[in-house]
Amino acid sequence: MTSKKLEKIKKQIAQARQGAGNIHHRKLVSIATKLGRKRDDSKGKEPTFVNEEKGWIPLSIPHHGVLKKGTVHSICDVFDDDVLTWEEELFNLEDK
């Protein structure tokens, strides 16, 4: 992951928040995979995305087509936490 890629992902998260009433689940799945999460169908009813290497909390993204505003905002909050984790990791790598 590079800082340039993180900036693109941040923009995509912001766009998802702005269009929250009209966001398709595929857009959120795309952001999740770009952040290093992988689909794990062994957990729960909905598709779950995990990053075992980082030990992140599993994230369920409903497979319902267009998602409700609150659902999109909740998922974007988790993406924001993922971005912060990546930024901290990049910052620590630059310090060494």
- Span 19-59, pLDDT tens digits: 888 899 999 999 999 999 999 988 778 899 999 888 888 99
- In this predicted structure, the answer to whether residue 72 has a pLDDT above a threshold of 90 is yes
How many domains does the chain divide into? 1
Instruction: List the alpha helices (DSSP H) in 1-96.
Output: 3-18, 25-34, 69-95
Which of 16, 82, 18, 77 shows the shortest CA–CA distance to 50?
82
Flag whether the pTM goes above 0.75: yes
Cα(12)–Cα(68) distance, rounded to whole angstroms?
17
How far CA 95 is from CA of 11, 84, 88, in Å, comes to: 26, 17, 11
Residue in the block written with tokens 């062994």:
42
- Residue 14, domain extent: 3-95
Which neighbouring-strand residues pair with 66? 24
Cα(84)–Cα(51) distance, rounded to whole angstroms?
15
- C-alpha radius of gyration, the chain, whole number: 13
